[in-house]
Amino acid sequence: MERSPPQQTLAGRLAILGTLGALAFSVSAVAQQELDHAKADAEFAKFRAEMEDSNPAELFELKGEELWKAKRGPKNVSLAESCDVGLGVGKLEGAYVINPRYYPDADKVMDVERRIVWCMTEKQGFKFGDIAKKPFASGNYTPEVTSLVTFVAGHSRNMKFAAPIKDPKVREVYEIGKEITAYRAGPYDFSCNTCHGSDGKRIRMQNLPNLSTPEGSLKGVMGWPGYRMTGGVMLTSQWRMNDCFRQQRFPEPKYVSDTVTALLTYMTVNANGYTYKGPGIKR
């Protein structure tokens, strides 16, 4: 094996994460002075660049690789021998960037996370209810699906987003996603676009991407799944969407729902043609 074993890597990473925490603190201190936004952005970009050499996401890729290859579940099969994430069973190279896509066997447009959950239930025999009980990372807990998504996403590093918008099924879901971003409701009458529909919007120190532009949508999909410094956990695009429903004071969608796939389809298609840099680091 070329890579060092996960434990050893982990020790090294933890040292780095200590530094990261200190840096995160210094960035948030900067952020308290509203005028220093640009400086905070620049600082974050700098240490993200520094971190890219020893990206904590790699830990989860390794974990995901183990899970992908292991025979598991009531049916005792591996995902490697049973799960098609867009290019055929077991083919991962470049699969992440051609999702969300239509899967005839499920008769649904699915993003990678949703597809992996589908494979775990349909092929391995896991129960959806068990997987959906705690779908996102918190504290020391990382769901298996998160590691699996990170592993699959790692195989599309430096490839161009190419969600198949020419497929009418994908087009339909894209249009729904677009409509959802404009749909206002909830106690504050917010839509996604209230916060993400024009350039230069900020909440506290966060630069809110304008999802209606290719560059804004690119920001929305780039770096996910991502290691989030706030909380120190690995999170997926599915989590990001759920968390924004919370920001919007909407009820959170059910795990791997049509709604979230539609939003991810909208953003990914808008970002088509841009290069995906792989699982990343998020503020």
Instruction: Look at phi and psi of residue 207 and say left if phi exceeds 0, alpha if psi is from -120 to 50, else beta.
Output: beta
Residue type, 2: E
Task: Please tell me the distance from the alpha carbon of residue 122 to that of residue 75, in angstroms, as a whole number.
Answer: 9
The residues near 142 (Cβ < 8 Å, ≥ 6 apart) are: 60, 63, 233, 234
| Nearest distance in Å: CB 208, ligand HEC | 5
Task: Please tell me the distance from the alpha carbon of residue 133 to that of residue 141, in angstroms, as a whole number.
Answer: 13
Task: Please tell me the distance from the alpha carbon of residue 93 to that of residue 234, in angstroms, as a whole number.
Answer: 22
Q: Is 248 in the site for ligand HEC (CB under 6 A)?
A: yes
The residue written with tokens 């087009």 in the block is 171
Task: Please tell me the distance from the alpha carbon of residue 269 to that of residue 171, in angstroms, as a whole number.
Answer: 9
Scanning 60-68, 102-110, 118-126, 218-226 for contacts with ligand HEC by CB under 6 A, the matching segment is 218-226
Looking only at residues 167 through 186 of this chain, which bind ligand HEC when binding is defined by CB under 6 A? Answer: 181
Q: Which of 11/38 has CB closer to ligand HEC?
A: 38
Task: Please tell me the distance from the alpha carbon of residue 26 to that of residue 160, in angstroms, as a whole number.
Answer: 34
Task: Please tell me the distance from the alpha carbon of residue 102 to that of residue 123, in angstroms, as a whole number.
Answer: 18
Q: Which of 11/203 has CB closer to ligand HEC?
A: 203
| Nearest distance in Å: CB 221, ligand HEC | 7
Q: Is 34 in the site for ligand HEC (CB under 6 A)?
A: no
Q: Is 128 in the site for ligand HEC (CB under 6 A)?
A: no
Is the bond preceding residue 164 a cis peptide, omega within 30 degrees? no
Scanning 61-69, 136-144, 202-210, 270-278 for contacts with ligand HEC by CB under 6 A, the matching segment is 202-210
| Nearest distance in Å: CB 194, ligand HEC | 5
Is the bond preceding residue 100 a cis peptide, omega within 30 degrees? yes
Scanning 12-20, 51-59, 132-140, 188-196 for contacts with ligand HEC by CB under 6 A, the matching segment is 188-196
The residue written with tokens 């839509």 in the block is 191
Among 62, 192, 233, 262, binds ligand HEC (CB under 6 A): 192
Instruction: Output the residue with the shortest Cβ distance to ligand HEC.
Output: 192
Among 263, 269, 271, 281, binds ligand HEC (CB under 6 A): 263
Scanning 35-43, 62-70, 131-139, 240-248 for contacts with ligand HEC by CB under 6 A, the matching segment is 240-248
Q: Is 194 in the site for ligand HEC (CB under 6 A)?
A: yes
Task: Please tell me the distance from the alpha carbon of residue 86 to that of residue 201, in angstroms, as a whole number.
Answer: 35
Phi, psi of 232 (to 5 degrees): 60, 50
Scanning 14-22, 30-38, 194-202, 268-276 for contacts with ligand HEC by CB under 6 A, the matching segment is 194-202
Q: Is 209 in the site for ligand HEC (CB under 6 A)?
A: yes
Contact residues for ligand HEC, defined by CB under 6 A:
181, 190, 192, 194-196, 203, 206, 208-209, 219-220, 223, 240-241, 244-245, 247-248, 263, 282-283
